Structure 1
Amino acid sequence: MKITIENIPEGSEPEIIVRCNEIDESLLQLIYSIKSSSKKLIGLTGLQMNIINPKDVFYFEAVDNKVFIYCKEKVYESRLRLYELETEYENLGFFRASKSTVLNISKIKSLNPVFYGKFEALLLNGEKVYISRQYVPILKKKLNL
């Protein structure tokens, strides 16, 4: 892959031009990554609003009609619904792991098959999250297995 960087006049808007024979999954992932670098997520702790980089999120979980954002050491509450977060961040490596969980694939340390076709994901922060059997094929596809 050839990369060319050109300086532009002051005040001009930066532009990225992609030239390719066909768009594949890795190129789409790169495009989504560039576009989403400016996306931030709002997490609440009490009345305080915290700005969170989506790359720092391990998973989102819905519990008792509330949605929580799990980072390495802190948990925040989100005003968004789980399906909204899933849609917004699916191109950043997030996927639906169960009815109540959306998981960041890049935070998975290891996977272990468990009973009835489920998987257990050990995350980089030591937490374990279960992946329902109906979502295992989606995970396998995202991991190219």
Structure 2
Amino acid sequence: MKIIIEEKTSKDEEDTIIIRCDTLDDSIMKLIHQLKSKDELLIGTANEKIARIRPQDVYYFESVDHKVFLYTEKDVYEIKQKLYEIEDTYQGMDYFRVSKSVILNLSKIQHLSPVLGSRLEATLLNGERIMISRQYVAALKVLLGI
């Protein structure tokens, strides 16, 4: 892979990224999606305060009693999006559905441990533990190359 970086000739010129490839594979699609969503912020509420959260700061999303919550390293926010909307928006990035009610940021996993019943337990960088349902374990192993 060759990377070329050029400075703009004028300040009025828009930043431009050109990707030249033989085939548009998953790794390139992931890169494109990351570039596009870099400036998008999630809006969450906690204790009557509104916060703007960067997608890369999210550890996981969880649906509880028809509400969706976003978890960061230390805080929890309620968001308006549904899990299927989040899954669609961040498809191709480091987010993976690990159960019917949780979408996990794979980059926040410290390690995985097997649990009875063919499930896995993910220990996150902040020490939290998330159970991965057995119906999602095979796809996760393929994704992680395990």
Aligned to 1:7: 7
Does 2:29 match 1:46? no
Correspondence list, 1:5-84, <5 A: 5-8=5-8, 9-84=10-85
Give the AA of the match of 1:81: K
In structure 1, give the amino acid aligned to 2:7. N
Q: How many residues align?
A: 145
Q: What fraction of aligned residue pairs are identical, expressed as a percent?
A: 48
> Matches of 2:51 and 2:96 in 1, distance apart?
23
What is residue 128 of structure 2 aligned with on the other side? 127
* Structure 1 runs not aligned, ≥5 long: none
Structure 2 SS opposite 1:29:
helix
2:86 partner SS: helix
Cα deviation per residue 1:20-59 (whole Å; 9 max; x = unaligned)? 2222222222111111111111111133210000111000
Specify the SS of the correspondent of 2:32: helix
Larger mean Cα displacement after TM superposition, 52-61 or 12-21: 12-21
Partner of 1:73: helix, strand, or coil?
A: coil
- Whether the 8 Å contact between 2:43 and 2:79 is mirrored in structure 1 is yes
**How much has 1:98 moved relative to structure 2?**
0.4
* TM-score for both structures, normalised by structure 2: 0.93
Amino acid at match of 1:71: T
